[in-house]
Amino acid sequence: MADFEQMNNLSEAIGYKCEGCGAPVEFDPATQSLKCNHCGCETKIEFNDQIEERSFEEIFDCEQWAGGVKVIQCQNCGAKEVLDKNEISSSCPFCGSPSVLETSELAGIKPDTAIPFKMQKQAATAKCLKWLKSRFFAPSEFKKNVKINSLKGCYLPTWTFDCNTSVFYEGQLGKHYTETYVVNGKTMTRTKTRYFHVSGRLSKNYNDIYVKGSEVVNDKYLQRIQPFDMNDYVKYDDKLLAGFEANHYTIQPIEAWHQAEEMIKASCQSEIVASYGADVVVYLNLSFTHHSKSFKYLLLPVYISATNYKNKLYNQYVNGVNGKVTGHVPKSPLKITLTCLLGVAVLAGLVLLLGAL
């Protein structure tokens, strides 16, 4: 029994028990099964890959993620995660702090879809270390002694929207052209603009417009570890949380839809302007109708790593499928200064060389 207690602390997941020996099991990305670290027993998870969209009306009244989960909050950095309700202890994936407390908050909407982790934690740790050691601007002392304080598999919440959009437009656009004229017998050119009136209708099908569900990871970093492959989608299964966590969404679905709407508007406007080859928009009135709107709550697999250097915390992010790494890293002021000086020296050398020619 002592063994099991020790393992509970190690694995931090006791929601699912081994069918063979009763010890806690964890989701194993390599075999896509629930694996027992005690006896090695594996139970393969049969994922359902029939993904259903939610009709848009449900956005105000979604199926809730009740029962099997709880919400915890880090007392240090404030990040909120959804865990299996039986998980007993945890540290924060973002700052590594052990002071995480259960909140009375409900987990909210139940995810529809997830991309399961495919890469194992050890492999993600190795990728992350290699990445940190290869950062040019990182202080040499940091690279020599770098170690990862914590690395956790954490699903990031994302909303995706589908819709058929029709837009009626009316406006005035302008196109540049070049005019030649003669002054004192000399031919000159100048750019003029021809304005014209436009009106019409555009229809577009949008499939999977992504809007992030929380602010914990900056968009810039999420972009860098893309892509997440739609072919990897499976229907969400609570077993995915065995040994893993899900970051709790803070952006409500209706708020996310408004962001998606803005993206649609911008993409339609640029498509209309481009279709006329216009260089100038004097005005363009757009009137939108969205049909067959639907949405999904999707979880994306990302390992979050925390590294300390000189009492400062740096997070790295590893795509849990393709292993792409990005994130924060300490920068050496000396290396930055030297590189700038080198750049200035090269420029000065070029100027001198060009002057001499």
Chain residues in the site for Zn ion (CB under 5 A): 18, 20-21, 23, 36, 38-39, 41, 74, 76-77, 79, 92, 94-95, 97
Q: How far apart are CA 340 and CA 346, in angstroms?
A: 10
- Cβ closest to Zn ion, residue 77 vs residue 126: 77
Q: Where are the alpha helices (DSSP H) in 182-321?
A: 219-224, 253-275
E strands, 76-214, where? 80-84, 100-102, 113-114, 150-183, 186-212
- Please state the closest distance from residue 21 (CB atom) to Zn ion, in A: 3
**Toward Zn ion, which CB reaches closer, 21 or 126?**
21
Residue closer to Zn ion by CB (options 158, 315) is 315
Q: 62, 152, 153: which is closest to 111 by C-alpha? A: 62
Question: Is the CB of 4 or the CB of 206 nearer to Zn ion?
Answer: 4
> Between residues 4 and 288, which has the closer beta carbon with respect to Zn ion?
4
What is the spatial distance between Cα 236 and Cα 75, in angstroms, rounded to a whole number?
A: 28
List CB contacts of 80: < 8 A, sequence separation 6 or more.
71, 72, 73, 74, 103, 105, 247, 248, 250
The nearest distance, CB 247 to Zn ion, in angstroms, is 11
Q: In angstroms, rounded to a whole number, what is the distance separating the alpha carbons of residues 319 and 153?
A: 10
Nearer residue to Zn ion within complex by CB, 221 or 288: 221
Q: How far is the CB of 98 from Zn ion (least distance, A)?
A: 10
H or E stretch at 2: helix 2-11
Please state the closest distance from residue 192 (CB atom) to Zn ion, in A. 59
Beta carbon of residue 219, minimum distance to Zn ion (angstroms, whole number): 20
**Nearest distance from C-beta of residue 10 to Zn ion, angstroms:** 14
Smallest CA-to-CA distance from 50 within 113, 2, 137 is with 113
Q: How far is the CB of 73 from Zn ion (least distance, A)?
A: 9
CA 271 from centre of chain: 26
Amino acid letter, residue 176 = H
Output the CA torsion sign for 120, 121, 123, 124. Answer: positive
Going by C-beta distance under 8 Å and a sequence separation of 6 or more, which residues neighbour residue 148?
Answer: 125, 128, 129, 305, 306, 307
Q: Decide whether 150 or 267 has the Cβ nearer to Zn ion.
A: 150
Nearer to Zn ion, 92 or 107 (CB): 92
CA atoms within 13 A on the CB side of 209: 24
* Closest distance to Zn ion from the beta carbon of 75 (Å): 8
